[in-house]
C-alpha cells in the first residue's frame, strides 16, 4: 500500500489509516466518551441540576 | 497486518493506548482546536475572527439570494468551515509530523460525534406533518439511496464514493457524507469530492425545480415539500422554494422536519446495504465499501439504541441542546483533521464520475418526486 | 335590506380608508418634517452598519443607543422616484437623553462618539389653532402639533395632542381640556378611604406640563382647538468627541504631558486653574479656572456649564476635570460596569481630555458633507439631546440610470466614507422593483420590495431598530400587524427549564411573542349607531395570557384569569344613550351601571427597581392594588429634573392593559425658583387622581389616590322599545303595564307607575327633572342617570334624554328581560367563567366585559380540546385545539369557531414550535393595547418570518409612550 506523505510521519504512522485493533480501541474510546457525555448531561437534567 | 499495526499491538496496554501519550497527542489536538475555533463560532468561544464570520460578511456584501445567504447555499456550516480551513492550511503549509498522532483522534471523534447526534433526531417532531408527507419523505430517502447505489454500480463508480453520494443525496444533508466516512471506510478525498458534487448538483436543482414546479402548477405548499426533498442542502431547498413563492418558502421550513428526523435511517440504510454486500462478496476486490469492518460496529448499535431512546423522548431540552453543542465541537475538531489530510489532488483524483452519478440520480429523483406529489395532490392524499 | 346596503357601504368606506395612506404620511409636495413614511413602507430591523447597543457614561448610567435610516415622502412617476428635501435621513437616538459633562455616549454614523457640549433655547409659540386630525407645522421649526382625537365627558370636550419632532417622533400624547376644573381641585375632595360614591367633578387641566415643554390651551373643542402658548426646547448646537477621551490623573501644581502639550493644574479656592502650553511649557495656549465635574444636574445649565471645561477649538482639545473612581468601576472599559450613578466616596481627580471634536449646528450642513443638513432634536422633557438627524438638503431623484445615492460621509479613524448608500432601481412606470441599503461595511439589506412582481409605488423605508419607529408607525401599526399576506406570524419560543409560572394571570399582558390572529369568523366586529347617531364599533376578542408548558408533567397550563374573553366598544359604553355591546356574539343593550370610587390613603409605593424574575411581566410586591381586581398602581421609573426626583407612575388594568399615559410628577419645581423644568405635583385626569405626600427617587408616599371601579351592570338581549306616552296612556312592559301619570315639559318631569297583571301598582316614580343641573352630570353620573329611569324586577323604563318630549307626550325607552352582571360572579350560562366588568378610569362608565377562568385549565394530548365560554344556546364561542404536543413544546395547535354549522379554523398557531398558548384573537381596544406594547419586537420578527430566518439574539424594545394605552419600557 502506498504511503500518503501528508498523513504519515517518519515512523510510518498514518493518522488516516484506521484498522484492526487500533480502530476498535478508538471506537471504544469514542463510544465510552459519548455515553459518558450524553448520559451525564441527561442525568444532570433529570436530577434538576440545570 | 501492517508494520505500524504490529507496533501498536506490541505497545498496547489497554484500549486507552489508542489515545497515545499526552505529549505525543498534544500538538495535533491543539492544531485541531485552533482550526476549529478560527473556523466556527463555537459555543463558549467568543472569538470574532472566524471563517464563519468572514462568510457572514461576504454574504452581506453579495446580498441575499431568495433570502438565503450565498455561503450557506454553498454549504458553509460547522463541518465544512473547519474542513476548508484545514484544507487550506495543509495545501499551503503542509502538515507537521508532530501533529499526526493528535490528528488521529479524528477516528475517536467520528463515532463520538455520531453517537451524540442521536438525541437530535426526534421522530415524533415529524408527526405534525401528517401521514402522507412522512411517507413521501421516507420513500424519497430509500428510493434515492437505492437508485444512487444501483447507478453507481452500473456506471462502475468506486462503491465507497457511490455510498457516500447515496447517503448525502438521499438525506438532503451533506453532513451525512462525513458521517458515512468511517462506516464506509471511504477515503477523505472521496468524501469531499462527493460533497462538492452534491452541492454543485444542488445549485442546478435549486434553479431547475421552481421552473418545473410552476410548469406543473403544484400548490406552493407542496412545492415546499418538493424543495425540501429534491435539492442538495437546507438553504438550497429554501432558495428553490422562495424562488417559486413566499408560501412555498414558508412550507419548506414546515416540511423540513420530516426530512430531518429520518436522516439517520438514510445513512444506516446505506451502511447496512453495503455491509451485507461486503460480507457476501468478500473475495471480490471491487467491493471496497465497508472493507475491513468484519462485524456490525458496536458503536453504531449504541447510536441506534440512543436514537430509539430519543424517539421515546428520553432526551429533553435543554440536555438535548447541550449535547448538540458538543456535537458541534466534536465535528469541528474532526473536520479540521480531515481537511488537513487532503491535498487538492486527492479530491480531484476521483474525477467527475461521482458528479455524473449525482446528477442522474438527482434528476430521476426530481422527476419521481414531482410526479408523486402531483398525483398525491390530484388524489387528495395531500390536502390543499 | 337597508341594513345590508349600509353594511356594504360601510365596508367599502372602511376599505378605502385603510388603503388611503392617511394624513400622517408625507407626500411628495409637502414638507416631510414631522410626517411618517408611507403606510406601506418597508421596515427592516437589522443591517450590520446600523448599530443598536447599550453603552454607559462616566457615571455608569446605561444609555441604549440606536441608529436607523429612513426615507419618507417619496413618489414614483415616469420611471423615476423623487424624494423631497428632508425625505431621506439618518437618525441616531439615545434612551432618555445625552447631556454635556457626563461623557454620555452617542452614535454618530456608526462611530461610538461622546456628546461633550450643547447649546439650547426655549421656543415659544402663541395662538396656535388646529382642527381635529391635523398635524400642523409650528412655524419654521420643523415641528408639528397633532390633534389626535377628541371625546367627551358630560358632553363637554377633551382631546389628546402630541408635539411631533421633525423626525416624526414624539414622547407621549397628552390630554388637555378647557371646560373642566383643574388638577388642584382634587385637594378639596375630602373622601374617606375605601369604596365611595361617584365624584361629581371631572378633572382635567388646561395646562399640560412636561419638564421643559408646556402647553397652555385656550379653547379645546370637539373639532377645533386653540392653544394660548406652546413652549418647547430647541438645541442650536452640539459638539461631539468622535473618540474616547484621554484620562490622565491630575497632579496638583504640576503638569501632565498630552501628546505635544503640557496641561498644568493649579489649585485655587474655587477650582483648578488649568493651563495648556506647548511641549516646552514656554507658550501658553489657553488657561481657565475650572471646577471639577460631579454628577449633579445643575452643572449643565447654560450659565453654569462653561465653568466646568476648558475648550480650545483651535487645538481640537477640551479639558474637564472629573472625580475619578479609584478602580475605574462603572466604566465601559472594564467588565463590571453597573447602573448605579451616585455615591463615590473615594477617588482621584483626573483630566478628561476630549479630542477629534465635531461641532454641528441645527439646520446647518453636516461638516463632512454639505449635501446633508443636521437637525438636533431634544428630549422634550429635559431639553437635552435625544436624536441627531442628518437629512438630505436638496431633493433627490432615482431612476434606472442613476439608481443609487450615497448617504452622508461618516467620520472614521481610517477612511471617511459614505455611511450608507440607497439603491433604488428596476423602475417600471409607476413602480420600483428593487430597493436596498448598503452600509459602510459594504453589506446590503434584502430587497425592500417584498413582492417584486407587483413592485412598489414609493420607495419609503425604515431600516434599523430605533424606537422612534413606534410613534412613526402610530397610524399604521395595527394594519401592518393585521396584514395576513405572510399568514399568521408565529414566533417560535425557546425551551427553558424554568418556564415563567404564575399562579394567577390577573393584571398580566400576554407574551410579546403571542401569535396575533386579526380575524376569526365567529368573533363579532360590527358598527352600530346610538341614539345620537354616533357610529360606534363594537368588537370581541379572545386572548390567553400567562400560559406555560409544565414539561415535567407534560401538560399545558393556562393559569386562573389566563383565558380571557373581552367585549368592548370603540369607547366606553353609556346608559341613557341607546348603546349596546356584544356578549358571546349576541347583542346586549346596556340599561344601568353600578359604579363608585375606590380611595386609598397613605400608601407606600416602591420603585420597580428590583425585577428579580427578569421577565418584565411582573405583578409583584412593588405594585399597589386599588380594589379587588380593579387596578394596580406601579412606580416604573424615576429621573431627576434640576436635581429633584421626578417619578413616572402607571396604572395597570385587570385586563393587563395600561390605563392612560404615564403619570409624571415631581415636587417643588417652582417656576419662581429659577428652575428650568416644570412638572405637576398632583395628578388628576377625569375621576382618577393622585395627591403625593413625598416623591423620592426610590420611593413615593402617596397621601391620596382614587380611581373608579364598576361593580355591576344590567342589560338585556331584547332590543328596547321606544314609546310615546301621554298622561293616562299605558304600554306593556314585560309582564307589567306601564302607565304614564303626568308629563310636565316645563319642569321636565314624567310621572310613571308600574302595574302588575292584577292591576296593582308595584312601583312608581317621577323621572327627572331633566334640568340644567341634571344635564351637567349626564350621562356619566350614576345617581342622576338613575333619576331618569324607573327600574323594577327585570324591567326598566327610561326617559329618552336626547328628545324627552314630543307633542305633549313623554318619550320612553322600555327594557324587558333585564339581567344583572355582577363582578366576580360566575357567568350565568357557563359557570366555568367569571364575569369581570371593567371600568373607564376617567368616567365610571362600562369599558369592557371580560369573562375569564377562575380555575387553571390543563391540557395535554389526552385532553387536547378546551371549549371556550358557552352562551345561552350551550354552544361554545370557540375551541382551543392542541394538534401536536410532545410534552415540551407545542408543535401545532389552533383555535376554531363554529358558525352556521361550519367550522372556521385559525392557522396553526405553533407553526414554529411554542412553549405557551398565549394568543391574541380579534381586534379591540384590549388586544390593540397589547399589540401597541409589543409593536417593535413584533414588527422586527415579521422580517425574520418573511425570509424564513431566525431572530437575532437581541430584540428591539421601545421606549415611547404613545398615549391611549400607555407603554412601559421593559
Residues C48-65: tens digit of each pLDDT: 999 988 898 887 788 989
- Grid coordinates given for C309: 471645561
3-state percent helix, strand, coil for chain C, nearest multiple of 5: 10, 50, 45
Provide the greatest CA pair distance for chain A. 54
What ranges in C263-405 are assigned the alpha helix state H?
302-305
Length of chain A: 50
The residues, ordered by sequence, that sit 6+ positions from C794 with a Cβ below 8 Å of its Cβ are C716, C734, C816, C817, C818, C819
B188 touches chain A (CB under 8 A): yes
Classify C560 as helix, strand or coil. coil
- Grid coordinates given for B75: 454549504
Nearest to B4 among A12, A33, A41 (CB): A12
Nearest to A42 among B19, B112, B315 (CB): B315
Q: Which residues of B touch C442 (CB under 8 A)?
A: 60-61
Confidence of residue C330 (pLDDT cuts 50, 70, 90): low
Classify B264 as helix, strand or coil. helix
The domain limits of chain B are 122-317+344-379
Q: Which residues of C touch B124 (CB under 8 A)?
A: 886
Question: Residue C338: is its pLDDT beyond 70?
Answer: no
What tens digit of pLDDT does each residue of C77-100 get? 999 999 999 999 999 999 889 999
d(CA B166, CA B149): 6
pLDDT value for C333 = 52
Q: Which residues of B touch A14 (CB under 8 A)?
A: 4, 100
d(CA C262, CA C286): 11
Q: Pairing mode, if any, of strands C254-258 and C261-268?
A: antiparallel
- How would you list the strands of the sheet with C902-905, edge to edge? C865-867, C879-885, C890-899, C902-905
Q: Which residues of C touch B238 (CB under 8 A)?
A: 948
pLDDT value for C967 = 32
Confidence of residue C332 (pLDDT cuts 50, 70, 90): low
B88 touches chain A (CB under 8 A): no
> How many inter-chain contacts (A to B, CB under 8 Å) are there?
135
Question: Residue B378: is its pLDDT beyond 50?
Answer: yes
Query: If you ran DSSP here, which 8-state letter would residue C490 be given?
Result: -
Q: What is the mean pLDDT of residues C448-467?
A: 94
Radius of gyration of chain B, Cα coordinates, nearest whole angstrom: 21
Q: What is the torsion angle, in degrees rounded to the nearest 10, for the CA atoms of residue C642, residue C644, residue C647 and residue C648?
A: 0
> How close, in Å, is residue A27 to chain B by CA atoms?
6
Most confident of C9-13, C345-349, C614-618: C345-349
Nearest to B60 among C48, C496, C888 (CB): C48
Confidence of residue C302 (pLDDT cuts 50, 70, 90): confident
- Grid coordinates given for C737: 303595564
Question: Residue C344: is its pLDDT beyond 80?
Answer: no
Nearest to A15 among B90, B104, B109 (CB): B104
Neighbour-count burial of C224, counting CB atoms closer than 10 A to its CB (0-12 exposed, 13-18 middle, 19+ buried): middle
> How close, in Å, is residue C115 to chain B by CA atoms?
29
Judge contact between C893 and C906, C-beta under 8 A.
no
Question: Residue C43: is its pLDDT beyond 90?
Answer: yes
Question: Residue B341: is its pLDDT beyond 70?
Answer: yes
Please tell me the least confidently modeled range out of B40-49, C491-500, C619-628.
C619-628
pLDDT value for C867 = 97
Q: Which residues of B touch A34 (CB under 8 A)?
A: 111-113, 115-116, 299, 302
C-alpha distances in Å from residue C310, one per residue of C166, C317, C324, C849? 33, 8, 18, 64
Interface test with C, best of B54, B128, B130 (most C CBs within 10 A): B128
Using the beta-carbon criterion (under 8 Å), do B97 and A10 form an inter-chain contact?
yes
d(CA C927, CA C933): 10
Judge contact between B10 and B81, C-beta under 8 A.
no
Please tell me the least confidently modeled range out of C347-351, C604-608, C815-819.
C347-351
d(CA C896, CA C685): 41
Nearest CA in chain A to B12: A22
b/e burial code for range C134-148 (CB count within 10 A of at least 16 → b): bbebbeebbbbbbbb
- The better pLDDT of the pair C242, C349 is held by C242
Query: If you ran DSSP here, which 8-state letter would residue B237 be given?
Result: H
Neighbour-count burial of B235, counting CB atoms closer than 10 A to its CB (0-12 exposed, 13-18 middle, 19+ buried): buried
Confidence of residue C957 (pLDDT cuts 50, 70, 90): very low
Closest of C859, C896, C919 to residue C546, by C-alpha: C919
Length of chain C: 970
pLDDT value for A2 = 64
B: neighbours with 3+ CB pairs under 8 Å? Answer: A, C
Closest of C627, C603, C608, C628 to residue C619, by C-alpha: C608
Judge contact between C556 and C571, C-beta under 8 A.
no
Using the beta-carbon criterion (under 8 Å), do B64 and C446 form an inter-chain contact?
yes
> How close, in Å, is residue B245 to chain C by CA atoms?
9
d(CA C644, CA C637): 14
Nearest CA in chain A to B107: A26
What tens digit of pLDDT does each residue of C733-781 get? 999 999 999 999 888 999 999 999 999 999 999 998 988 888 888 888 8
Using the beta-carbon criterion (under 8 Å), do B238 and C948 form an inter-chain contact?
yes
d(CA C121, CA C232): 9
Phi, psi of B26, rounded to the nearest 5 degrees: -55, -50
- Residues 1 through 40 of chain A touching chain B, CB cutoff 8 Å: 1, 4, 6-31, 33-35, 37-38
Alpha-carbon dihedral sign for residues C20, C24, C27, C29: positive
Question: Residue C4: is its pLDDT beyond 90?
Answer: no
What tens digit of pLDDT does each residue of C254-293 get? 999 999 999 999 999 999 999 999 999 999 999 999 999 9
Q: To the nearest whole number, what is the mean pLDDT of chain C? A: 88
Neighbour-count burial of B312, counting CB atoms closer than 10 A to its CB (0-12 exposed, 13-18 middle, 19+ buried): exposed
Using the beta-carbon criterion (under 8 Å), do A42 and B314 form an inter-chain contact?
yes
Closest of C557, C577, C564 to residue C503, by C-alpha: C557
pLDDT value for C19 = 43
d(CA C286, CA C416): 30
Beta strands in C429-562 (DSSP E): 431-439, 461-464, 516-517, 525-529, 535-544, 548-550, 555-558
C-alpha distances in Å from residue C30, one per residue of B88, B154, C89, C869, C895? 58, 73, 16, 51, 46
Q: What is the mean pLDDT of residues B297-324?
A: 91
Q: What is the mean pLDDT of residues C349-354?
A: 92
DSSP string, C359-374: EEETTSEETTEEEEEE
Using the beta-carbon criterion (under 8 Å), do B322 and A26 form an inter-chain contact?
no
Question: Residue C616: is its pLDDT beyond 60?
Answer: no
ipTM of the complex: 0.94
> How many inter-chain contacts (B to C, CB under 8 Å) are there?
63
pLDDT value for C69 = 97
d(CA C490, CA C477): 17
Q: What is the mean pLDDT of residues C181-197?
A: 92
**Domains, chain C:** 2-116+371-481 (no CATH), 121-188+219-237 (no CATH), 244-355 (no CATH), 516-589+825-938 (no CATH), 719-816 (2.60.98.40)
Using the beta-carbon criterion (under 8 Å), do C497 and B317 form an inter-chain contact?
yes
pLDDT value for C872 = 84
C48 touches chain B (CB under 8 A): yes
- The better pLDDT of the pair C493, C907 is held by C907
Length of chain B: 384
Using the beta-carbon criterion (under 8 Å), do B60 and C441 form an inter-chain contact?
yes
C20 touches chain B (CB under 8 A): no
Judge contact between B155 and B356, C-beta under 8 A.
yes
pLDDT value for C331 = 55
> Which residues of B lie inside 8 Å of C (Cβ-Cβ)?
57, 60-61, 63-64, 67, 122, 124-125, 127-128, 238, 242, 246-247, 249-250, 252-254, 313, 316-318, 321
Using the beta-carbon criterion (under 8 Å), do A8 and B100 form an inter-chain contact?
yes
For residue C277, the number of C-alpha atoms closer than 13 Å in the C-beta half-sphere is 14
Classify B10 as helix, strand or coil. helix
What tens digit of pLDDT does each residue of B63-122 get? 999 999 999 999 999 999 999 999 999 999 999 999 999 999 999 999 999 999 999 998
Using the beta-carbon criterion (under 8 Å), do B63 and C891 form an inter-chain contact?
no
Using the beta-carbon criterion (under 8 Å), do A23 and B107 form an inter-chain contact?
yes
For residue C220, the number of C-alpha atoms closer than 13 Å in the C-beta half-sphere is 28
Percentage of residues in chain B with pLDDT exceeding 90?
84
d(CA C189, CA B211): 76
pLDDT value for C340 = 38
> How close, in Å, is residue A25 to chain B by CA atoms?
5
pLDDT value for C16 = 42
C949 touches chain B (CB under 8 A): yes
The residues with which C196 forms a beta bridge, in sequence order, are C597
Percentage of residues in chain A with pLDDT exceeding 70?
94
pLDDT value for C26 = 57
Classify C282 as helix, strand or coil. coil
d(CA C200, CA C36): 41
Using the beta-carbon criterion (under 8 Å), do B63 and C446 form an inter-chain contact?
yes
Nearest to A31 among B302, B322, B323 (CB): B302
Using the beta-carbon criterion (under 8 Å), do C441 and B57 form an inter-chain contact?
yes
Q: Which residues of A touch B182 (CB under 8 A)?
A: 18
Phi, psi of C877, rounded to the nearest 5 degrees: -70, -35
d(CA C393, CA C364): 9
pLDDT value for C958 = 40
Nearest to B57 among C443, C445, C446 (CB): C443
Judge contact between C99 and C384, C-beta under 8 A.
yes
Query: If you ran DSSP here, which 8-state letter would residue C519 be given?
Result: -
Q: Which residues of B touch A33 (CB under 8 A)?
A: 108, 112
Judge contact between B169 and B162, C-beta under 8 A.
no
d(CA C860, CA C863): 5
Write the Ramachandran bin of C100: left for phi over 0, alpha for psi from -120 to 50, otherwise beta: beta
C-alpha distances in Å from residue B157, one per residue of B167, B280, B284, B285? 15, 19, 15, 14
pLDDT value for C141 = 92
Q: Which residues of B touch C884 (CB under 8 A)?
A: 127-128
Q: Which residues of C touch B254 (CB under 8 A)?
A: 911
Question: Residue B384: is its pLDDT beyond 60?
Answer: yes
* Cα distance from N-terminal residue to C-terminal residue, chain C: 51
Question: Residue C681: is its pLDDT beyond 60?
Answer: yes
pLDDT value for C671 = 74
C: neighbours with 3+ CB pairs under 8 Å? Answer: B
pLDDT value for C15 = 45
Nearest to A6 among B16, B106, B341 (CB): B341
The residues, ordered by sequence, that sit 6+ positions from B225 with a Cβ below 8 Å of its Cβ are B133, B136, B251, B252, B255, B258, B373, B382
Question: Residue C345: is its pLDDT beyond 80?
Answer: no
Question: Residue B33: is its pLDDT beyond 80?
Answer: yes
Amino acid at each position: 500500500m502506498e504511503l500518503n506523505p501528508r498523513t504519515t510521519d517518519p515512523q510510518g504512522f498514518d493518522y488516516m489509516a484506521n484498522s484492526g485493533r487500533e480502530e476498535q480501541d478508538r471506537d471504544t474510546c469514542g463510544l465510552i466518551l459519548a455515553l459518558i457525555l450524553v448520559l451525564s448531561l441527561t442525568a444532570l437534567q433529570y436530577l434538576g441540576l440545570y | 497486518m501492517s508494520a505500524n499495526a504490529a507496533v501498536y499491538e506490541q505497545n498496547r496496554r489497554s484500549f486507552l493506548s489508542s489515545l497515545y501519550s499526552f505529549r505525543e497527542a498534544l500538538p495535533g489536538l491543539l492544531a485541531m482546536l485552533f482550526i476549529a475555533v478560527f473556523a466556527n463560532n463555537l459555543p463558549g468561544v467568543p472569538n470574532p475572527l472566524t471563517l464563519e464570520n468572514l462568510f457572514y460578511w461576504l454574504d452581506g456584501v453579495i446580498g441575499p439570494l431568495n433570502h438565503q445567504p450565498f455561503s450557506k447555499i454553498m454549504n458553509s456550516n460547522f463541518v465544512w468551515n473547519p474542513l476548508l480551513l484545514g484544507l487550506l492550511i495543509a495545501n499551503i503549509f503542509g502538515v507537521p509530523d508532530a501533529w499526526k498522532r493528535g490528528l488521529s483522534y479524528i477516528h475517536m471523534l467520528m463515532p463520538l460525534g455520531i453517537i451524540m447526534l442521536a438525541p437530535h433526531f426526534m421522530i415524533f417532531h415529524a408527526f405534525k406533518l401528517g401521514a402522507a408527507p412522512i411517507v413521501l419523505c421516507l420513500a424519497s430517502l430509500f428510493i434515492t439511496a437505492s437508485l444512487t447505489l444501483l447507478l453507481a454500480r452500473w456506471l462502475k463508480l468506486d462503491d465507497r464514493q457511490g455510498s457516500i453520494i447515496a447517503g448525502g443525496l438521499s438525506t438532503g444533508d451533506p453532513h451525512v457524507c462525513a458521517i458515512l466516512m468511517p462506516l464506509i471506510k471511504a477515503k477523505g478525498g472521496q468524501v469531499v469530492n462527493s460533497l462538492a458534487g452534491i452541492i454543485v448538483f444542488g445549485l442546478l436543482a435549486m434553479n431547475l425545480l421552481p421552473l418545473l414546479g410552476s410548469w406543473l402548477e403544484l400548490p406552493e405548499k407542496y412545492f415546499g415539500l418538493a424543495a425540501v426533498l429534491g435539492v442538495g442542502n437546507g438553504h438550497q431547498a429554501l432558495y428553490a422554494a422562495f424562488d417559486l413563492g413566499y408560501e412555498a418558502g414558508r412550507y419548506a421550513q414546515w416540511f423540513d422536519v420530516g426530512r430531518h428526523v429520518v436522516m439517520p435511517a438514510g445513512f444506516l440504510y446505506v451502511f447496512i446495504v453495503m455491509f451485507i454486500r461486503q460480507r457476501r462478496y468478500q473475495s471480490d476486490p471491487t467491493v471496497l465499501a465497508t472493507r475491513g469492518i468484519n462485524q456490525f460496529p458496536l458503536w453504531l448499535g449504541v447510536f441506534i439504541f440512543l436514537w430509539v431512546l430519543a424517539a421515546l423522548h428520553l432526551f429533553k431540552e435543554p440536555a438535548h441542546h447541550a449535547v448538540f453543542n458538543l456535537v458541534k465541537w466534536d465535528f469541528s475538531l474532526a473536520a479540521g483533521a480531515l481537511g488537513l489530510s487532503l491535498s487538492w489532488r486527492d479530491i480531484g483524483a476521483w474525477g467527475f464520475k461521482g458528479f455524473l452519478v449525482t446528477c442522474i440520480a438527482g434528476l430521476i429523483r426530481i422527476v419521481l418526486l414531482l410526479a408523486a406529489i402531483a398525483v398525491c395532490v390530484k388524489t387528495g392524499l395531500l390536502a390543499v | 335590506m337597508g341594513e345590508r346596503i349600509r353594511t356594504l357601504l360601510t365596508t367599502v368606506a372602511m376599505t378605502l380608508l385603510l388603503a388611503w395612506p392617511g394624513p400622517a404620511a408625507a407626500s411628495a409636495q409637502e414638507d416631510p418634517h414631522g410626517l411618517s413614511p408611507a403606510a406601506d413602507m418597508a421596515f427592516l430591523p437589522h443591517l450590520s452598519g446600523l448599530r443598536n447597543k447599550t453603552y454607559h457614561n462616566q457615571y455608569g448610567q446605561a444609555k441604549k443607543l440606536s441608529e436607523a435610516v429612513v426615507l419618507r415622502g417619496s413618489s414614483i412617476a415616469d420611471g423615476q422616484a423623487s424624494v423631497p428635501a428632508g425625505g431621506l435621513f439618518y437618525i441616531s437616538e439615545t434612551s432618555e437623553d445625552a447631556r454635556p459633562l457626563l461623557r454620555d455616549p452617542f452614535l454618530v454614523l456608526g462611530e461610538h462618539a461622546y456628546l461633550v457640549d450643547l447649546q439650547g433655547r426655549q421656543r415659544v409659540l402663541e395662538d396656535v389653532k388646529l382642527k381635529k386630525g391635523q398635524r400642523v407645522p409650528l412655524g419654521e421649526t420643523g415641528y408639528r402639533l397633532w390633534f389626535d382625537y377628541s371625546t367627551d365627558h358630560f358632553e363637554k370636550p377633551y382631546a389628546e395632542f402630541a408635539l411631533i419632532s421633525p423626525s416624526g417622533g414624539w414622547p407621549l400624547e397628552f390630554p388637555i381640556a378647557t371646560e373642566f376644573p383643574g388638577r388642584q381641585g382634587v385637594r378639596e375632595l375630602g373622601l374617606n378611604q375605601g369604596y365611595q360614591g361617584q365624584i361629581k367633578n371631572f378633572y382635567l387641566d388646561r395646562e399640560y406640563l412636561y419638564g421643559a415643554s408646556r402647553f397652555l390651551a385656550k379653547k379645546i373643542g370637539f373639532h377645533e382647538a386653540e392653544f394660548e402658548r406652546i413652549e418647547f426646547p430647541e438645541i442650536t448646537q452640539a459638539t461631539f468627541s468622535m473618540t474616547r477621551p484621554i484620562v490622565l490623573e491630575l497632579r496638583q501644581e504640576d503638569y501632565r504631558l498630552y501628546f505635544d502639550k503640557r496641561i498644568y493644574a493649579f489649585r485655587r479656592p474655587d477650582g483648578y486653574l488649568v493651563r495648556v502650553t506647548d511641549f516646552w511649557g514656554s507658550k501658553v495656549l489657553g488657561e481657565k479656572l475650572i471646577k471639577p465635574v460631579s454628577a449633579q444636574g445643575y452643572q449643565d445649565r447654560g450659565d453654569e456649564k462653561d465653568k466646568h471645561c476648558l475648550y480650545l477649538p483651535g487645538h481640537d482639545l477640551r479639558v474637564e476635570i472629573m472625580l475619578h473612581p479609584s478602580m475605574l468601576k462603572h466604566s465601559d472599559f472594564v467588565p463590571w460596569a453597573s447602573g448605579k450613578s451616585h455615591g463615590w466616596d473615594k477617588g482621584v481627580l483626573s483630566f478628561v481630555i476630549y479630542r477629534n471634536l465635531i461641532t454641528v449646528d441645527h439646520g446647518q450642513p453636516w461638516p463632512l458633507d454639505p449635501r446633508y443638513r443636521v437637525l438636533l432634536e431634544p428630549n422634550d422633557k429635559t431639553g437635552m439631546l435625544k436624536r441627531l438627524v442628518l437629512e438630505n438638503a436638496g431633493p433627490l431623484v432615482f431612476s434606472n440610470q442613476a439608481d443609487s445615492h450615497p448617504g452622508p460621509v461618516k467620520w472614521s479613524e481610517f477612511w471617511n466614507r459614505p455611511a450608507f448608500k440607497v439603491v433604488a432601481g428596476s423602475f417600471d412606470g409607476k413602480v420600483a422593483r428593487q430597493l436596498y441599503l448598503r452600509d459602510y461595511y459594504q453589506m446590503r439589506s434584502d430587497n425592500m420590495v417584498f413582492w417584486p412582481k407587483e413592485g412598489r409605488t414609493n420607495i419609503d423605508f425604515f431600516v434599523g431598530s430605533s424606537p422612534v419607529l413606534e410613534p412613526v408607525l402610530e397610524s399604521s401599526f395595527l394594519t401592518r400587524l393585521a396584514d395576513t399576506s405572510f399568514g399568521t406570524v408565529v414566533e417560535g419560543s425557546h425551551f427553558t427549564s424554568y418556564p415563567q409560572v404564575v399562579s394567577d394571570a390577573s393584571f398580566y399582558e400576554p407574551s410579546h411573542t403571542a401569535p396575533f390572529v386579526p380575524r376569526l369568523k365567529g368573533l363579532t366586529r360590527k358598527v352600530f349607531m346610538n341614539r345620537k347617531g354616533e357610529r360606534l364599533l363594537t368588537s370581541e376578542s379572545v386572548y390567553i395570557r400567562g400560559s406555560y408548558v409544565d414539561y415535567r408533567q407534560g401538560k399545558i397550563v393556562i393559569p386562573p384569569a389566563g383565558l380571557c374573553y373581552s367585549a368592548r366598544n370603540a369607547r366606553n359604553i353609556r346608559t341613557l344613550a341607546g348603546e349596546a355591546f356584544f356578549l358571546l356574539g349576541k347583542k346586549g343593550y346596556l340599561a344601568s351601571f353600578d359604579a363608585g370610587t375606590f380611595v386609598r390613603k397613605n400608601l407606600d409605593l416602591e420603585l420597580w427597581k428590583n425585577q428579580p424574575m427578569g421577565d418584565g411581566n411582573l405583578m409583584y410586591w412593588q405594585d399597589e392594588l386599588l380594589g379587588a381586581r380593579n387596578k394596580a398602581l406601579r412606580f416604573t421609573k424615576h429621573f431627576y429634573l434640576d436635581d429633584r426626583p421626578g417619578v413616572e407612575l402607571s396604572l395597570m388594568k385587570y385586563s393587563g392593559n395600561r390605563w392612560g399615559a404615564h403619570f409624571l410628577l415631581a415636587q417643588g419645581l417652582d417656576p419662581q425658583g429659577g428652575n428650568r423644568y416644570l412638572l405637576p405635583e398632583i395628578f388628576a385626569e377625569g375621576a382618577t387622581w393622585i395627591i403625593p405626600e413625598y416623591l423620592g427617587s426610590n420611593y413615593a408616599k402617596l397621601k391620596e389616590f382614587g380611581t373608579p371601579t364598576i361593580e355591576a351592570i344590567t342589560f338585556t338581549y331584547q332590543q328596547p322599545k321606544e314609546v310615546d306616552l301621554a298622561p293616562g296612556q299605558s304600554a306593556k312592559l314585560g309582564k307589567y303595564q306601564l302607565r304614564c301619570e303626568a308629563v310636565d315639559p316645563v319642569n321636565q318631569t314624567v310621572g310613571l307607575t308600574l302595574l302588575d297583571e292584577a292591576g296593582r301598582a308595584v312601583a312608581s316614580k317621577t323621572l327627572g327633572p331633566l334640568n340644567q343641573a341634571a344635564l351637567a352630570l349626564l350621562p356619566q353620573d350614576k345617581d342622576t342617570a338613575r333619576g331618569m329611569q324607573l327600574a323594577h324586577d327585570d324591567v326598566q323604563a327610561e326617559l329618552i334624554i336626547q328628545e324627552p318630549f314630543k307633542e305633549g307626550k313623554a318619550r320612553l325607552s322600555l327594557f324587558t328581560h333585564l339581567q344583572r352582571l355582577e363582578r366576580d360572579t360566575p357567568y350565568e350560562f357557563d359557570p366555568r367563567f367569571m364575569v369581570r366588568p371593567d371600568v373607564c378610569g376617567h368616567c365610571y362608565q362600562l369599558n369592557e366585559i371580560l369573562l375569564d377562568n377562575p380555575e387553571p385549565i390543563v391540557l395535554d394530548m389526552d385532553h387536547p380540546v378546551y371549549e371556550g365560554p358557552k352562551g345561552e344556546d350551550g354552544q361554545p364561542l370557540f375551541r382551543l385545539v392542541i394538534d401536536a404536543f410532545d410534552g415540551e413544546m407545542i408543535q401545532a395547535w389552533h383555535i376554531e369557531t363554529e358558525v352556521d354549522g361550519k367550522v372556521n379554523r385559525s392557522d396553526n398557531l405553533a407553526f414554529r414550535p411554542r412553549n405557551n398558548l398565549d394568543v391574541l384573537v380579534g381586534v379591540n381596544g384590549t388586544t390593540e393595547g397589547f399589540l401597541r406594547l409589543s409593536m417593535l419586537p413584533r414588527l422586527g420578527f415579521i422580517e425574520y418570518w418573511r425570509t424564513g430566518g431566525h431572530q437575532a439574539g437581541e430584540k428591539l424594545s421601545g421606549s415611547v409612550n404613545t398615549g391611549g394605552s400607555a407603554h412601559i419600557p421593559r
